[in-house]
Amino acid sequence: MASGAVAEWLVKPGEAFAAGEAICEIETDKAAVGLDVQDEGVLAKILVEAGSGDIAVGNAIALTVEDLGDYEEFLKMDPSEYAHLVVSAAPAAAAEAPAAAAPAVAATPAGAPAHLSGDVRISPAAAAMVRSQNLDISALAGTAMHGLISKADVVGGLKSGSLVARPLPPKAVAAPPVGAPAMAAPSAASSSMDGVYAPVNDKYTEINNSNMRKIIAKRLTESKATVPHFYMSITCEIDELLGFRKVLKNDMGVNVSVNDFVIKSAALALRDVPEANQKWNGTARVDSNGIDISVAVATPAGLITPIVTGAAGRGMADINEEVKDLATRARDGKLKPEEYQGGSFTISNLGMFGISNFSAVINPPQACILAVGGGVPRMLPPHAGDTKPRMATTLTVELSADRRVLDEALAAQYLQVFKAYLSSPSKLVL
């Protein structure tokens, strides 16, 4: 973590707490984690209110004292004595604050006609004409939908003489800060579209990204920019798997999903082809400590990948229970950091959404991610010795691999082994 946000205070100022008790919840990039204190005491002052934004790691968020007597003495202190501990936001969050705090209706930009303010409903083309010729449109009525002033309205006003062009006022240039290097004045060729105006369509809502989505965007951008991806897909027949799944449910009372079979098949294939279970540490390939499968789970705040540890040695029912538990706590934001950090191989399954195949982005330092589609009925050529085509349910998976760790031959070998396990599910329980 470089920064975090206080999601909720569990203790109020003046309330005592015991050693090991959580006094607040910290929202990390992936989950909300309780902040446990090491000693007993009394919460004296909250320096960072819940929901106030990201705070850089290392900054104070609260003041505590030993007992209620000390708390009474604390209340007599001058706030200036601890004012230096109060911080507003982490540097990364502060850079985004102006955009988040922008008013719904923009002010009139410098150099634009005073009457062309943020509450004027005008199309972009019409606004460009007004700015370029410094037209007074205060008496101009818009004829477009919802009273919008269109380019045709401006052209009509110019033709009728009701709009008159006037000389543009000089554009104000802000003075540079003291000590800042001098900058060249804007040229005459600068665009007249500078500035921010009210949107033409006001029926929209800006939704700020959560911390999780910001981290996801950052990591995936880095991955696509720095990891040499290559892609390889294979199609598996899963009719035998579907039949075996029914037997487990009807005869043994074991209810497992197709995704559980995929996880187990992927893990056993990694056991048989260990080179696909390696990672890239920035300079070389390194072996993973175990076969730990990260499973992508969609949550309201974004995507998270809880880990099924030791997947190759787990039974199907065990994998099913583990995935259910991890997915539930992931959606509730209750995962522990060690439950989603790490992993040696990722599976992203969108088959339940009707997606037949897709490409996924590698999650560094892992070298592979397997994109799993849904089952699709297809007409296939006959088996050897038969003469008629046959119907079969097929499932397509696509492996995204890091070329620094795997080559095409190794990736193909891994997918062949994966297909052998998934197409013959009885091997998974031996």
- Report yes or no: 257 and 265 within 8 Å, Cβ to Cβ: no
d(CA 49, CA 62): 9
pLDDT of residue 415: 97
CA distance 50 to 26: 9
Which residue from 397, 337, 368 is spatially nearest to 223, judged by alpha carbons?
A: 368
Torsion of CA 354, 357, 358, 364, to 10 degrees: 110
Q: Which residue carries 């065990």 as its tokens?
A: 318
What pLDDT is stored for residue 342 in this prediction? 87
Closest CA to 238 of 51, 16, 425, 397: 425
CATH 3.30.559.10 fits 212-429, yes or no: yes
116 vs 109: CA distance, rounded Å: 9
| 126/142 Cα distance (integer angstroms) | 11
User: Where do the domains of the chain lie?
Assistant: 3-100, 106-166+189-197, 212-429
| Tokens standing for residue 47 | 């320096």
Q: Output the pLDDT for position 157.
A: 81
CATH class of this structure's domain 3-100: mainly beta
pTM of the predicted model as reported, rounded to 2 decimal places = 0.62
pLDDT tens for the chain, 430 residues long, are: 778 888 889 999 999 999 888 899 888 766 777 888 888 999 999 988 888 778 888 888 999 999 998 888 888 888 887 777 776 654 444 444 443 333 333 333 434 444 555 556 787 777 777 877 788 887 788 887 667 788 888 888 887 877 776 665 554 444 545 444 444 444 433 333 444 445 556 677 777 777 778 888 888 999 999 999 999 999 999 999 999 989 888 888 888 899 999 999 999 999 999 999 999 998 999 999 899 999 999 887 788 899 999 999 999 899 999 999 999 988 887 888 888 888 999 999 999 899 999 999 999 999 999 999 999 999 988 888 888 898 999 999 999 999 999 999 999 999 999 999 999 888 887 6
CB 372 within 8 A of CB 356: no
What pLDDT score does 105 carry?
34
- 109/202 Cα distance (integer angstroms): 19
Give the CA distances from residue 50 to residues 46, 54, 59, 70, 209, in Å, rounded to whole numbers and listed in that order: 9, 10, 15, 25, 17
In whole angstroms, what is the distance from residue 42 CA to residue 70 CA? 9
Residue 211: which of 21, 412, 28 has the closest Cα? 28
CA distance 295 to 369: 10
Residue closest to 13 by CA, chosen among 59, 72, 96, 56: 72
Residue 370, pLDDT score: 97
Exposure letters 158-176 (e unless 16+ CB within 10 A, then b): eeeeebeeeeeeeeeeeee
The per-residue b/e assignment along 36-70, b for 16 or more CB within 10 angstroms, e otherwise, is ebeeebbbbbbbbeeebbbbbeebebbbbbeeeee
